[in-house]
Amino acid sequence: MAKKKTKFVCQSCGYESVKWVGKCPACNEWNTMVEFMEQAPSSRRLTFNTSSSTEGSKPISIMEVEIGSETRIETTFQEFNRVLGGGIVLGSLVLIGGDPGIGKSTMLLQVSSQLAKKDHKVLYVSGEESQKQIKLRAERLGIVTKNLFVLSETDLSYIARFMDEMAPDFVVIDSIQTIYLNEVTSAPGSVSQVRECTSELMKIAKTKGIPIFIVGHVTKEGAIAGPRLLEHMVDAVLYFEGERHHTYRILRAVKNRFGSTNETGIFEMKELGLVEVLNPSEIFLEERPFGVAGSTVVSSMEGTRPVLVELQALVSPTSFGNARRMATGVDHNRVSLIMAVLEKRVGLLLQNQDAYLKVAGGLKLDEPAVDLAVAVSIASSFQDKPTKPTDVVIGEIGLTGEVRRVSRIEQRVQEAAKLGFKRAIIPAKNIGGWSFPEGMEIIGINSVQEALKHLLS
């Protein structure tokens, strides 16, 4: 009789080892290695019909491959459709992650209801809630439709059988960490279970042409729990972001085989569920103070859409030996770099000043075009000189103090003009090749010093 072998698998990254180690060599996490029994490959397969799959596939020239029209299912949420690249693609497997309580289940239940009202048969599978709990949430959201079917089950074999019997047009799995396969000996939520269950769901989606959305838990670092292989297997990875104390939620695509990965959708959480925000610039600027030092407006690109947001800075003398640097919504290291440029190239003595920077509204900005707005906000607070409320600032800052060109400058300035801004401070390299909005003064600058002269003089 063959002897059973054991292996140790890291629960954070999926690294496998023949012996136990305290620190994972791959991800450097401590005490994440769990012992598993290796089994011979099982001939058992899930009982779902794969008659629609192609057999006898063989390599052919790429010139001979025929491409038909891509069928997409559109929801009522325009923001949701744009993030996915224009709608839900048939046969796609989409992973959605986010913090607990952020609204992942609420959004997918609303999307399921919208599809069901368009005569699509939708199966909502929950491994965390009972059917009564889902019904209570549906009543709170005002969801009433007969084409939405709910199932409370964690065994993937039963789920696959129901999918084969019902032949749904759309499936939601909430969440992948609660689903298990009997053939895998590890507990639900482990690396092996998550990997195998996702693999089986991918086969169902591709062979049956059913779009499947799976919800994934996140770790304390904010990444989707389980191996990174999980993100490589699916067609799209969406992150649902936001802060508990803000009502706004951002749906961001970090991987999308059917569209751009730069798109974002903005929603607002209300009593009756999520409501899409079609003009986020007005929302983020509606409470902006006027005539206050440290406040600057920047035009940032969220995907292909420009969004105007307010940057606020507070600079005050430090009471400790080392000055504090805190940032919310922008990279902390980038703020430190810009402050070093202001000290060296502009001559502002900031080494004994505490600096606090915040993006109003809870939005996260990670593009270099906000550098100049960060520098202007810090200098404005330090010198206690407010900027004009009708000014918008755009530009990237180099280490020598130069202001470098940014992309999509025309869309950024056009959005500012729509909201009533009268003057735009932009890189001089971006001047030319496009028409300025009527009534908008465009000033091109080459350095941070020039920008501060125009804005704080």
The predicted structure's pLDDT at residue 234: 94
Query: 279-321 pLDDT, tens per residue?
Result: 888 888 988 888 899 999 999 998 788 999 999 999 999 987 7
Q: What is the CATH number of the domain that holds 126?
A: 3.40.50.300
Q: Which residues of 358-396 are buried (b: 16+ CB within 10 A; e: fewer)?
A: bbbbbbbbeeebbbbbbbbbbbbbbeeebbebbbbbbbb
In a domain, 47, yes or no: no
The helix or strand, by DSSP H or E, that contains position 444, with its residue range, turns out to be strand 441-445
CA distance 212 to 47: 18
Residues 264 and 301 in one domain: no
Query: 389-442 pLDDT, tens per residue?
Result: 999 999 999 999 999 999 999 999 999 999 999 999 999 999 988 999 999 999
Residues 440 and 380 in one domain: yes
In a domain, 61, yes or no: no
Strand 16-17 and strand 264-270: the pairing is unpaired
What pairs with residue 255 in β-bridges? 237
Q: Which residue has the higher pLDDT, 245 or 265?
A: 265
Residue 99 labelled as part of a binding site: yes
Q: Would you say residue 34 has pLDDT above 60?
A: yes
What pairs with residue 388 in β-bridges? none
Q: Give me the number of domains the chain comprises.
A: 3
Residue 88 labelled as part of a binding site: no
Burial class (CB in 10 A: 0-12, 13-18, 19+), 61: exposed
Residue 306 labelled as part of a binding site: no
In a domain, 34, yes or no: yes
Q: Would you say residue 101 has pLDDT above 60?
A: yes
Mean pLDDT of 141-156: 93
**Identity of the amino acid at 50:** T
Q: Would you say residue 3 has pLDDT above 60?
A: no
Residue 329 labelled as part of a binding site: no
pLDDT band at 31 (very low <50, low <70, confident <90, very high): confident
pTM of the model: 0.77
Residues 410 and 352 in one domain: yes
The predicted structure's pLDDT at residue 57: 67
Query: 262-274 pLDDT, tens per residue?
Result: 788 889 999 889 9
Residue 104 labelled as part of a binding site: yes
In a domain, 395, yes or no: yes
What sign does the CA torsion over 417, 422, 425, 429 have? positive
What are the distances in angstroms from CA 77 to CA 118, 255, 346?
A: 13, 20, 47
- Domain hosting 134: range is 72-278
Residue that is written with structure tokens 């058992």 in the block: 44
Residues 315 and 220 in one domain: no
The predicted structure's pLDDT at residue 284: 85
CA distance 331 to 227: 26
Q: Would you say residue 52 has pLDDT above 70?
A: no
Residues 304 and 357 in one domain: yes
Task: Kindly report the average pLDDT of the chain as a whole number.
Answer: 88
Q: Would you say residue 225 has pLDDT above 80?
A: no
Q: Which residue has the higher pLDDT, 113 or 70?
A: 113
Residues 171 and 194 in one domain: yes
CA distance 28 to 21: 11
Residues 89 and 21 in one domain: no
The predicted structure's pLDDT at residue 414: 93
Mean pLDDT of 213-223: 80
Mean pLDDT of 230-255: 86
The predicted structure's pLDDT at residue 44: 47
Secondary structure of 258-306 as H, E, C letters = CCCCCCEEEEEEECCEEEECCCHHHHHHCCCCCCCCCEEEEEEEECCEE
Residue 103 labelled as part of a binding site: yes
Residue 105 labelled as part of a binding site: yes
Q: What is the CATH number of the domain that holds 288?
A: 3.30.230.10
Query: 53-91 pLDDT, tens per residue?
Result: 445 568 889 888 887 667 789 999 999 999 999 999 999
Residue 134 labelled as part of a binding site: no
225: nearest Cα among 181, 183, 266, 188: 188
Q: For the chain, what's the residue count? A: 457
Strands, sheet with 264-270, edge to edge from the N-terminal-most edge strand: 148-152, 122-126, 170-174, 212-216, 93-98, 236-242, 248-256, 264-270, 273-276
Q: Which residue has the higher pLDDT, 18 or 120?
A: 120
